[in-house]
Amino acid sequence: MGNSSRCTSTHSSMKEYRERELKWLSVVSKMDVGTVEKDNKLKKLVRSGIPASIRAKSWQFLSRSREYQKPGLYKTLLQGAKSSVHDVIEQDVARCYPNHVHFMRRDGEGQNDLRDVLSAYAQYNPDLGYCQGMHCLAGCMLMQMPAEDAFWLLVATVDRYLKGYFDPSLSQIRIDTVVIGELLREHQPKLARHLESNGVTPIMYIPSWFLTAFTLSLPWSSVLRLWDVFYFEGVKVFYRITLAILEICKDHLLQNCPSNSELLAFLLHIPHKYLGPDLLLETAFRIKLSKSDIAKYARKASIKDASVAGLPFEPGLENLKVGQNQSTSSLPSLKSLSGISKRVKPHRSQTSGPHTLPKSSHLT
Amino acid sequence: MPKDILKVVIIGDGGVGKTCLRNQFIHKRFTSSYKATIGADFITKDVHTDDGRKVTLQLWDTAGQERFQSLGVSYYRGADACCLVYDTTNFQTFHNLERWRADFLKQSSLPPDLLEDFPLILIGNKIDIDDRVVSRRQARAWAQQHSSPRMEIRCFEASAKDGTNVEEAFSCIAGMVKIPQLEFDMDGSDSFHLNRRDDSLRGRKSCAC
């Protein structure tokens, strides 16, 4: 369990902050990411928050974004022809974190970088192109690191952590809404009944949570803490945070939201006072949740649920392999990519050992 | 007595101003710093009828990118009315109305005999910008083409920025659904009253645009 310490600059916490900063510097510069993922002490350290000064490096390290990196490719992609999704990107660039100093100026540096990162991605992975929500991911990355680093982190994030979520059929988010429904019935049966009887289903709130990696729904201090853990433990954290949000809000939803209107109005605009980082993460990691349960519900949904029947559930299972207890580091999958990306060979500089995923990974 | 809830779905291409129209109607203000809607957003507005009934307008604001239409069925189901929004300065957004309408009717789970008469309105946004490429005549023609003898599609040209016709458009759709012959009478509070008036909005033949 995280020790709930925060990255504040009070005298009492400064020493601790410096110690954690040193620890992290040593982790990202000296250690092998495959070893780090199996280290329970580091897992606890991540859950208590990565120091802001090391955050960008840590996300890149944990996501293995450097393995995807190919020198010069980012600039080449930017020189490519405008893709068909150019107009959609342009619209979202102008309305991404509009109140953030980095993005508020029309065609300022922040907006230009965001446009570049998203356009380059659409060129890099034309099958996926651009999907709304990715601008929130790229924007959050650009608050932490330069554009080229943000681009490769986006590549790694979509390919290793969020396969299937931004596809043209939005297959994974549709499967997840069914999975969350099942998990909710299991973990919060009373709340699940209340929501269901009022016609509130996860598809009404999960897309805006998952496809933006919670950046539009949580206070920013919670977003950063969540992203720290996400890069260490993978998408399973999204399910945990979802169950935690609903657990924290349960009493309010049951007592003060008697109908569909009140429930949805609350769920889509939860006051930030409920969702501070310490309570949210502590609740999330107290919940007993296994990857095999998530996988089981995803398989079941793909077979039985009419709304998602036939959609591929395998990408979701791949996503679950990210994180601790993975016995080997994984080779970035470029199979789903086409066009220019087919020529890209992942550049490996930090990994050792076999580079294939285990045939039957042990999901815990 | 349970209150009446009117579910109104707002659809159209990304960036046409769905969220801004909704915000102008609810909050009477416009901000240029808005965010893209992912999935769907939702807001309600309580209105009172003059016979004392409380009606809740549920406005469903949906994502504009085409791939999000695969989530549409869950947002469209049970809708009482639908606002089709385009941008008067972008012809493609007008052209795509056909697809939005067809997709909405297909995914709304309505019985086939009700499809033709389903309450729809058309809103051309951004008329405050002097760069119009969709004419009033084109909008009217589109509305007439898709109207039925029992359901005339009203069309409005509006500005979420300065508020032109926003109130009129949403009042119109509320009136089309269940409570004809009404107008919104703002009383400055968060809710407002619906009063009867003689020239029914529904009965008018001409478009407001």
> Taking CA atoms, what residue in A is nearest to B44?
A261
On whether residue A344 sits in a domain, the answer given is no
**Contact B1/A at CB under 8 A:** no
Cα–Cα distance for residue pair B140/B124, rounded to 1 Å: 11
Contact residues, B window 47-66, toward A, CB-based 8 Å cutoff:
56, 58, 63-65
- Report ipTM (2 d.p.): 0.79
What per-residue confidence (pLDDT) applies to B209?
A: 58
**Contact A160/B at CB under 8 A:** no
What per-residue confidence (pLDDT) applies to B2?
A: 44
The total of structural domains in chain A comes to 1
Binary contact (A132, B38; C-beta < 8 A): yes
- Domain with A222, as residue range(s), is 171-321
What per-residue confidence (pLDDT) applies to A155?
A: 98
What per-residue confidence (pLDDT) applies to B48?
A: 63
- Other beta carbons within 10 Å of A9: 7
What per-residue confidence (pLDDT) applies to B55?
A: 74
What per-residue confidence (pLDDT) applies to A17?
A: 85
**How many CA atoms, within 13 angstroms, populate the side-chain half-sphere of residue B78?**
12
Binary contact (B71, A170; C-beta < 8 A): yes
Stretches in chain A below the pLDDT threshold 50: 1-5, 7, 326-364
The neighbouring-strand residues paired with B48 are B54, B193
Specify the CATH number for B3-195; select among 3.40.50.720, 1.10.3720.10, 3.40.50.300, 3.30.200.20: 3.40.50.300
Read off the tokens for B112: 């086939």
On whether residue A19 sits in a domain, the answer given is no
What per-residue confidence (pLDDT) applies to B200?
A: 40
On whether residue A223 sits in a domain, the answer given is yes
DSSP state of A238: H
Q: What angle do CA A246, A252, A258 make, to 5 degrees?
A: 105
**Contact A84/B at CB under 8 A:** no
**Contact A261/B at CB under 8 A:** yes
Stretches in chain B below the pLDDT threshold 70: 1-3, 33, 48-54, 178-209
On whether residue A235 sits in a domain, the answer given is yes
Cα–Cα distance for residue pair B180/B81, rounded to 1 Å: 14
Average pLDDT, chain A: 87
- Alpha-carbon distance values, B74 to A174, A180, A257, A301, B59 (Å): 11, 15, 21, 16, 14
Indicate the pTM of the whole model.
Answer: 0.84
In chain B, domain spans: 3-195
What per-residue confidence (pLDDT) applies to A82?
A: 82
Contact residues, chain B, for A132 at CB < 8 Å: 14, 36, 38, 63-65, 68
Cα–Cα distance for residue pair B117/B150, rounded to 1 Å: 6
The H helix count followed by the E strand count for chain A is: 19, 0
CB A208 within 8 A of CB A237: no
At A184, which CATH number?
1.10.472.80
Read off the tokens for B79: 């809708």
| Helices A236-256, A189-197: crossing angle, 10 deg rounding | 70
On whether residue A254 sits in a domain, the answer given is yes
CB B125 within 8 A of CB B160: yes
On whether residue A191 sits in a domain, the answer given is yes
On whether residue A202 sits in a domain, the answer given is yes
Strand B154-157 to strand B182-185: parallel, antiparallel, or no bridges (unpaired)? unpaired
What per-residue confidence (pLDDT) applies to A329?
A: 39
What per-residue confidence (pLDDT) applies to A325?
A: 55
Specify the 3-state DSSP secondary structure of B134: coil
What per-residue confidence (pLDDT) applies to A15?
A: 87
On whether residue A244 sits in a domain, the answer given is yes
**Contact B73/A at CB under 8 A:** yes
What per-residue confidence (pLDDT) applies to B51?
A: 58
